Structure 1
Amino acid sequence: MAYGTPGRPEDIEAYYTHVRRGRPPTPELLDELTRRYQAIGGVSPLAERTKAQARMLHRMLQDRAPDRYVVEIGLKHAEPFIEEAVEHLVGLGVGRLLGLVLAPHFSAASVGEYLGRMRTHAGLLDPSLPVGAIDSWHVEPAYVGFLSDQVATGLSTMPRATKVLFTAHSLPQRVIDGGDPYPAQLRATGEAVARQVGLDTTDWALAWQSAGRSPEPWVGPDILQVIRDLATDGRTGGVLVCPCGFVSDHLEVLYDLDIEAARIAEQVGLAFTRTRVPNDDTLVMAALAERLIAEDDSLSPIGS
């Protein structure tokens, strides 16, 4: 399961309306979002990246358990929606349903919603169908290893006094105040990568990005402010951003970081680079395939 994205420029308004829970965006908001998509080529590559991830995941499952699994894409805000994917799989007569969200860190406001929609619709269609899920994979060794390699490679091209910023999508503060595990899991990812790369605690920090436009408070500090603050401390020569909360190239990476954050860094005189995201990296997808097989094996036997 993944977030989804408009497939064509003319789909942006319908997509944005769905994201806003049926409230159409104002002309100003729609124009702003459209300009962002135009800046990265007109549409986001997320749809194609998600398809590539699904293909690679299926290949990894096939290598380990031939013809045992069917992989379907279900999206939160675009077709095919999560419910459509569930309907298709139930229609095929699958014996179990396994959910995997292409986001490493659990939050009730993100991964929890995906899995909830999957479980609810599966229960409506077939209450007896066993359903399993991977809630989070934020310290999966293959994922931590991928990030660590990217950070080490990036640092080799940067000034010595470079700060590593691990970033993820911000959430409303009320979600975090309710005890959501999201920040702790993000910090655990950062700590795991820092250990593997050999970073001191002063060499890295967490930052948040891409906060929504609702009037309520969102979790900070925002990465743009962090970059400005680092430029004033007199000790930092560069910023390396590792967007550990994202696993695909999409708007929040290609615009919010590669364009917006990079522009701020240039304005304040800091070197800037960003690590690659996994997309359909073979080792990461193989690890997720193994997690799914383990989850499948933990469910009650079919027919029991």
Structure 2
Amino acid sequence: MSVKQALVLVNMGGPASTEEIAPYMRAIFADPFILPLPWLLRGFVSNKIVKKRTQPVIEKYNLIGGKSPLLKWTEKQVKLMRRNDSPLFEHITHAYRYTSPTLDQTFASLKKGGYQSVTILPMFPHSSRAMTGSIEHEAKRLAKRHSITTYTIDAWGLHKEIIALQSEYLKSAMDEAGTGARVLFVAHGIPMREVKRGDNYPDK
């Protein structure tokens, strides 16, 4: 009997409306991988941040339609991947770390569907404790609860096929832009305390 396998694309998530911004921020700062403080102190600091930042964040979201575009693009990626019949995965879906559908909801649904193996694909090409570490930790916790085997594809941006494809698109864009075009590489930073704790994100 073959094992039913599913692939889950996992992203941070985002608010689908301005009403969801405060709960979204609260969920982020409740994560010890994001805000590594003792539980009570983390809750206190989280509430302070959310109270102070919600309105300014709402104003910025209103400039882009009042919701996160990440939701639309993640769903589009899943639909495109489903077009190609996978010889390995019977089902391809998505989950978010901080908004619905959450990893918890997705694992429960997969368990109900009889899936015994779940491969997690974080939608970040790098590895970082705060992002991919949080996702992998939560996935392992839920896999244990539902008796599902789980795997995580980590730091996939280092694969030579991905780099070659990115180079191809970049060269095409540079050729189209013409002489004088410049490429700006932008990356998230992480607190130095995380680097000292062994997070190798800067090396990526």
**Category of TM-score, reference length = shorter chain:** 0.7 to 0.9
Aligned equivalent of 1:47:
71
Alignment of 1:122-201 (within 5 A): 122-126=143-147, 129-156=148-175, 157=177, 160=180, 163-185=182-204
Residues 1:69 and 2:78 are matched in the alignment: no
Residues 1:14 and 2:18 are matched in the alignment: no
RMSD: 2.2
Unaligned runs of 5+ in 1: 186-304
Alignment of 1:1-304 (within 5 A): 1-21=10-30, 23-24=46-47, 25-60=49-84, 62=85, 64-65=86-87, 68-126=89-147, 129-156=148-175, 157=177, 160=180, 163-185=182-204
Comparing 71-80 and 169-178, the one that deviates more:
169-178
Residue 11 of structure 2 aligns to a residue whose secondary structure is coil
Letter in structure 2 aligned against 1:33: V
Unaligned runs of 5+ in 2: 1-9, 31-42
Identity %: 23
Aligned equivalent of 2:4:
none
1:171-220, CA deviations, whole angstroms, 9 ceiling, x for partnerless residues? 222112222221222xxxxxxxxxxxxxxxxxxxxxxxxxxxxxxxxxxx
- 1:171–1:70 distance in 2 versus 1, CA, 3 Å: same
Letter in structure 1 aligned against 2:127: F
1:255-295, CA deviations, whole angstroms, 9 ceiling, x for partnerless residues? xxxxxxxxxxxxxxxxxxxxxxxxxxxxxxxxxxxxxxxxx
2-structure distance, mates of 1:26, 1:17: 6
1:74-96, CA deviations, whole angstroms, 9 ceiling, x for partnerless residues? 21110111111111111211121
Contact 1:54 1:71 in 2 (8 A): yes
Letter in structure 1 aligned against 2:170: V
Contact 1:58 1:69 in 2 (8 A): no
Residue 93 of structure 1 aligns to a residue whose secondary structure is coil
2-structure distance, mates of 1:132, 1:183: 24
Structure 1 or 2, whichever has the larger Rg, is 1
Aligned equivalent of 2:33:
none
2-structure distance, mates of 1:132, 1:144: 23
Q: Structure with the greater relative contact order (CA < 8 A, sep ≥ 6): 1 or 2?
A: 2
Q: CA deviation at 1:143?
A: 2.6
Q: CA deviation at 1:105?
A: 0.5
